[in-house]
Structure 1
C-alpha cells in the first residue's frame, strides 16, 4: 500500500512539474535589441548613463511576461548581426514573443575604416558595397540600413515572433527651441521598412522630441541628458523614453503586448549607494553666506544612483567629531558598498585642554594626554593620525570605501603663493590614508594651484568674511575640483557615479 502511495505521489509530482515547465515555456518574452541608447554599458548606469531598455521592464507585469535587454553599445544594424549578437536572440525566439528593435545612431559612420567599420548604406534599397573590412580583415558585402532592418523583421516573423520597430531617440541638439527629428533619415527609413514588412512601428523619435520641447532645453540638459553627451540619456531620460514606448504600445490597435502593461508602474532603479561626508565648517552645509563644499558636491554626482549625505559639522576637529558621538551616528548608518569622505585639520590646531577643547595632538603617534573637560569630564586625547585612523578602519570594517582629503587651503598668501599644509595636516592626512588602506586626494595643493592661477583678487571673492570659509561660489569650485580628483582615482569605484 505504501509503495502504491509513493508511486502515485511521484506521478502527481511529475505531472505538476511538467505543467510548471509547460507554463514557463509558454511565457511570452520581450527581447530588446539595439545600441547604447537601448542598453548603455553593462546596463548598470555607469557614468550616469542608461538606455531605455533597462527601465522598460518595470512597465510590464513580469508575472506574465519576461523582458530581456540584448542591446549592445556601439553597434549598428549591420554590426549587431556581424558580431553574432542577433543569432542567440533568434535561436531563443518562439511564437508569441516580441522583438523591440531600435538602430540608427551608429549606422551613419564609415562603412570601412580601422576604428569601427560599422556604417551602412543610407536608405532602404538593395544596393550593396563589397569591402575587405579594414578592422576585422574579413571580406564583406555591406547592405543598406533598411536591408538589415528588413532581415531582423523577417527572421523574427519566421519564428512566430512579433517585431516592433522604433525610430531612434533624438539627440539633445537644439535649434531655436526645436529638437531636430530624423524622419528624413533613419526614423523615416525605419517607418518605411516596418510598413512594408507588416511590422508594428512606434515613432519614438517624434514622441520624445515633442516631450523635450514641451519641457524646454533648460529642463532637459543635465536632467534627461548630461551636457557632456548629447546622445545618451540619464536615468530620467531613459525612463521618459521607456514611458513613451509604453504609450506607443497602447496606441497600436492590434498589438496585444499592451495587455501586459501595468496600469500604474512604479519605476525604481537599483538601491542607491551613499556617500557620507564628515568634516568641519569648510565642508558643512553652512548658511547663506558661508558654504562648505559638501553642500555642492551632489551637483557633480549621478543622484539617480547615489545619495550624498553631508554630516560635516562646523567647529569640529578630528577629535571633537569623535568624542561628541557624531562619528558613531554616521557609522551606524553606513553599509557595505557605501563611501566615506573625510576632511579634518582646520580646528585640530586649537587648545587641547582649554575651551573649545578641540585640539588634537600633532602628528601620527600613539602618545596621549589626559585632561578634564570643563574640569569635570575626563578625556584621553590622541593624535590627529590616531583619530583619522579610527574613522578609516572602522568604516572599512563595514565594507565602506574611504577617501581621505587634505584640508582646503585658507586664503592666505605669501610671495604670490597660497599657504600649504604639506608639513602638517596635509602630510598627516596622507599618511593616515596610506597606513590604513584608504584613498587620498591632496585637495589642499590642487585647489591652491587653481587659486594661484586665478590670482588673489579673484580668490578673495570666494571668502566673504574671513580667510577660511567660502561662499557658495567658492564651495562650488572646491566641490568640482574634488569631483575631478575622484575621477582620476582609477581604482576607486566612486568615480563611476560622477556626472
Structure 2
C-alpha cells in the first residue's frame, strides 16, 4: 500500500513539475506602453498615421516572443496610470516579460485644466502638486515625469519583468537643417531614471533625429512624416523608428536582443490603387508643352498609401479607349477597393465615321451607329454616356470605386468668360454618373472659377502649345484643383 501511494505521489509530482516546466517555456511578452507615437488611434493607420509599436513586432521572432501594444494616444506618463492602463499591463506581467516605456510628448501640457489635464511636473524629483482636477472632478496629487516613469520601471522589476526606457520620438521640426532634440528635457529625464534604476535606455530621440538629418527635410516630410502633422509618423516613419530601436537593442546587453530577427521581412500596409482613365489632358504625353494633370497628381496625394497608375492616353475618346482594348487592360488590373477616375470629352466630339474614327454619339442614351472602319471591320458606335456608364458598371463589378470627372476647360474665353461645355459633355458625364449611382465631380466648373479669378493673361501661360493642352505649370495647377476637389468630396473616401 505504501509503495502504491509513493508511486502515485511520484506521478503527481511529475505532472506538477511538467506543468510548471511547460509554463516556464511559454513565450515571453513584450508590452509596449506609451502615447500615440507608439500606437496611433486604433493602430489601423487611419489618416495614414502609425506608431512604431505597430511595426516593431515584425523585427522580432514571433515564434519565440509575443508583442502587445497597450499604448494610447493622448496619454502622458501620468494619465496612462491614472486611467488604469498601466494596471491592466502590470496585472499580466510575468517573470521574463519585457516592458518598453516611452512617454513625454503629452507631459508638457497643463497640469490642471478642463481640456486634458495631463501635464506632469518637470524633472525626476519628488515634488508634488495637489489639485482638484477640473476635468475629472477628482482630488489628485501630481508628481514629476520621472516619478511616473520610475513607478512603471520599479513595478515591472518587482514582477521579474525587464523594463526598457526610451526617450520620446523626435518631432518633424527643423531649424537650420537640424532636428531639435529633447536631450535637456524628457529625453534627459528618461535617461536619468533608466540609469538610476539600472535598466536599458534607448535614446530614440537622438538616434532617429540623426537618421532624419542624414536624409534631409525634403525627403523626410511627405514620406516619413506628413506636412500637416509634425509629431505622428507615416508607416515608413514608424518603421524607421522601429529600426532605430532594434539597432540600439543590438548594441545593448538586454536579453530582448535574443529575439531579434537577423533578416526581418517588413510588410508595409498594402497600397490602394488609383487608376487614371482619360485622354491627353490627363496623360503623360512625353511633351513638356502638353502635360496632363495626372502627371502632377501624385505630388498632392499620400503615395505611401496610394499608388497612382496613369492609364490615360493622348488622342483617345471614351469610344476609342474602349475599342482599342485600353479599358480592358485597366479591368484586368482592378482590385476591390481600388479607385478609378474617369474623364473624357475632348475627343468625343470628333468624326464618328471618318478619320480619326473616335467620335461618340451625343447624349447618354442607347442609340447606335454602324461604322465601317478603314480595315473593313464593322464597329457599333454608342453614345458618350453609354461608354461612361459601361466604365462605371464594370468598375463596380470589380468591387472598385468609380469617380466621374467632367472634362478640363480649354483656354478659350468667349465673351470674356472661360469656355465650358455645360450643355454637352459636362452635362452628359453628370447624367451618366447619376444614372449609375456613381460619384461625379464638376472639375470644369472648379477650374473655370479659378481661371476666371486669375485672368486671361495669367492663364495663357498655362497653355504653351494650344488651347487644350497645359504645360508643366498648368498641369500642376489643374492637379492641385482636382486633388482639392477629391479631398472635399466626403463620399470619395480619398
- When normalised by structure 2's length, the TM-score is 0.92
Taking the aligned partners of 2:137 and 2:344, their CA distance within structure 1 comes to: 57
Alpha carbons 1:338, 1:401 under 8 Å: kept: yes
Taking the aligned partners of 2:428 and 2:141, their CA distance within structure 1 comes to: 64
Taking the aligned partners of 2:172 and 2:93, their CA distance within structure 1 comes to: 34
Q: Is 2:337 the counterpart of 1:347?
A: no
Taking the aligned partners of 1:86 and 1:423, their CA distance within structure 2 comes to: 64
In the other structure, the counterpart of 1:246 is 246
Alpha carbons 2:222, 2:302 under 8 Å: kept: no
Matches within 5 A, 1:386-401: 386-401=386-401
In the other structure, the counterpart of 2:260 is 261
Matches within 5 A, 1:187-226: 187-226=187-226
Measure how far apart 1:114 and its partner are.
2.5
Measure how far apart 1:159 and its partner are.
2.2
In the other structure, the counterpart of 1:64 is 64
Measure how far apart 1:83 and its partner are.
2.9
> Match of 1:303, SS?
coil
Measure how far apart 1:24 and its partner are.
9.8
> Match of 1:308, SS?
strand
Taking the aligned partners of 1:22 and 1:391, their CA distance within structure 2 comes to: 60
**Which one scores higher on RCO, CA 8 angstroms, separation ≥ 6?**
1
Taking the aligned partners of 1:334 and 1:22, their CA distance within structure 2 comes to: 49
Measure how far apart 1:90 and its partner are.
2.2
- CA deviation vs aligned residue, 1:377-406 (integer Å, no higher than 9, x gap): 212211111111111111111110111111
In the other structure, the counterpart of 1:160 is 160
Gaps in structure 1 of 5+ consecutive residues = 1-14
Q: 1:244 to 1:421 in 2, by over 3 A?
A: same
Gaps in structure 2 of 5+ consecutive residues = 1-14
Q: 1:304 to 1:23 in 2, by over 3 A?
A: farther
Matches within 5 A, 1:303-382: 303-374=303-374, 376-382=376-382
CA RMSD of aligned residues (A): 2.1
Alpha carbons 2:187, 2:203 under 8 Å: kept: yes
In the alignment of these two chains, the number of paired residues is 477
Alpha carbons 1:34, 1:72 under 8 Å: kept: yes
Q: Is 2:154 the counterpart of 1:140?
A: no
Matches within 5 A, 1:106-117: 106-117=106-117
Taking the aligned partners of 2:239 and 2:202, their CA distance within structure 1 comes to: 16
Taking the aligned partners of 2:438 and 2:124, their CA distance within structure 1 comes to: 56
In the other structure, the counterpart of 1:26 is 26
Alpha carbons 1:296, 1:479 under 8 Å: kept: yes
Taking the aligned partners of 2:57 and 2:21, their CA distance within structure 1 comes to: 23
- When normalised by structure 1's length, the TM-score is 0.91
Q: 1:409 to 1:134 in 2, by over 3 A?
A: farther
Larger of the two Rg values belongs to structure: 2
Measure how far apart 1:72 and its partner are.
2.0
Alpha carbons 2:223, 2:304 under 8 Å: kept: no
Q: 1:159 to 1:491 in 2, by over 3 A?
A: farther
Q: 1:28 to 1:296 in 2, by over 3 A?
A: same
Q: 1:99 to 1:492 in 2, by over 3 A?
A: farther
- CA deviation vs aligned residue, 1:23-77 (integer Å, no higher than 9, x gap): 7971121121211211222323333322211221111111111222222222211
Measure how far apart 1:19 and its partner are.
8.1
Alpha carbons 2:349, 2:359 under 8 Å: kept: yes
Taking the aligned partners of 2:292 and 2:412, their CA distance within structure 1 comes to: 18
